[in-house]
Amino acid sequence: MEGIRRMFKRFIPAILIFFALITLAQPVSPYYFKHEEGWWWYKEVIKRPEKKEEKTKKEKVEAKIKETGETEKKEETEKEKEKVKISKERLLEDLDKIPVKELRKRADIAIELALDNPSLENVRIYLTIQKAIMDRATRFAKLFALTTWLYPELDELRKHPTSAIGVNFANLLRIKKEDEAMDYLAKNGGLFFFFSNSCPFCAIQARILKVVQENYGVAIIPVSLDEKCLPEFPSCKPDNGMARRLNIEYLPAIYLAIPPDTIFPVSFRLITADELKDRVYKILNSEEIKAIREKQKGSTPAGL
């Protein structure tokens, strides 16, 4: 092994000299031997054509969506043009036979035609179609009235009359029902009245409630949030946390109470006596209170 190493070291200089001689033997081509390129011109660098960047997948999708949208838009425009192409003579064909939907379409086309190009002929076409629509409406109204005469169970005017005498009588019935509701409340419940002396409308509401109390005998429980009573209710009660439990934020506040534990909001603003009666009637005739009225008879609310 040692002999091989000595032999290899001996041949290294000879190998280096061999490669040096090969390098020096390469022919040198001066510029005057390059006839094709000339002597005094710069050699032009041939540029390779740049490859166009391929569109990303996202761009391709966006382009396709745009193209599809434009196609759909074009199709819609073509459809609109087809609609407009309906001749004037066809607009007036079979007006008493075609469906209402088609009749309305023709009316839209006719009015656009008359507005875009006003003329006696175009306006006549529109009015003719409009008259056909009115004639159908008139026939429907007549049949509607006849149907309610033949089938009285379908006639809502039985409950809600529109004639003067009917409206007056309906009002009398409503007042009677409201009075009955107030009588029931007077016998079986009462009203909580939450107020404060800093509330500018509470004093007016107190006067209204005092009149209601005198006319119908409804118990009013006045509750002061600032422990100051009003002249109409000098024996008011201080708030014991009830206003907080009911989450009362606006005054004056009125609650309807039916014992033992039913309490229902009536108003959070100033209301008249007629409004109060109407609300009491509607509350007492609600499904929730009706169930309670069936169970509660002749009791007096606690604290009244």
> What are 258's strand-pairing partners?
262
Beta carbons of 257 and 190 less than 8 angstroms apart: yes
Tens digit of each residue's pLDDT (9 = 90 or more) over 124-149: 999 999 999 999 999 999 999 899 88
Across 228-245, average pLDDT: 92
- pLDDT for the residue 303: 38
Q: Is 263:248 a contact under the CB 8 Å cutoff? A: no
Give the position of tokens 């002597």: 39
Output Rg (C-alpha) for the chain, integer angstroms: 49
User: What DSSP state is assigned to residue 294?
Assistant: H
pLDDT, residue 304, reads 39
Q: How far apart are CA 72 and CA 67, in angstroms?
A: 9
For residue 163, give Cα distances in angstroms to 113, 157, 158, 186, 239.
Answer: 43, 9, 11, 34, 50
* Rounded distance between C-alpha atoms, residue 71 and residue 65, angstroms: 10
* Number of other residues whose CB lies within 10 A of the CB of residue 67: 10
Tell whether the torsion through CA atoms of 231, 235, 241 and 245 is positive or negative.
negative
- With contact defined as beta carbons under 8 Å apart, do 104 and 136 qualify? no
* Residue 20 banded pLDDT, cuts 50, 70, 90: low
| Cα–Cα distance, 61 to 109 (Å, whole number) | 38
72 vs 78: CA distance, rounded Å: 10
Residues near 27 by beta carbon (within 8 Å), at least 6 away in sequence: none
CA distance 191 to 263: 9
pLDDT at 170: 80
Binned at pLDDT 50, 70 and 90, residue 77 comes out as low
Give the residue, 201 or 77, on which the prediction is more confident.
Answer: 201
The three-state DSSP-derived secondary structure of 21-72 is: HHHHCCCCCCHHHCCCCCCCCCCCCCCCCCCCCCCCHHHHHHHHHHHHHHHH
Residue 222 has pLDDT above 90, yes or no: yes
pTM of the model: 0.51
| Predicted confidence (pLDDT) at residue 169 exceeds the cutoff of 80 | yes
CA distance 201 to 271: 10
Residue 15 has pLDDT above 70, yes or no: no
Among the residue ranges 25-39, 46-60, 239-253, 262-276, the one predicted with the least confidence is 25-39
CA distance readout (Å), 102 to 88, 109, 152: 15, 11, 34
Q: Which two tokens stand for residue 85?
A: 């192409």
Q: Is the pLDDT of residue 203 over 90?
A: yes
**3-state DSSP: the chain helix, strand, coil percent, rounded to 5?**
60, 10, 35
Asked if 89 and 124 count as a contact pair (C-beta separation under 8 A), the reply is no
Q: Check pLDDT > 90 for residue 219.
A: yes
Query: Which residues in 26-42 are b (16+ Cβ under 10 Å) and which e?
Result: eeeeeeeeeeeeeeeee
Catalogue all structural domains in the chain, each as residue range(s) with its CATH number: 59-159 (no CATH), 167-295 (3.40.30.10)
**pLDDT, greater one: 302 or 51:** 51
Residue pair 248/180 in contact (Cβ under 8 Å)? The answer is: no
**Confidence check: pLDDT of 47 > 90:** no
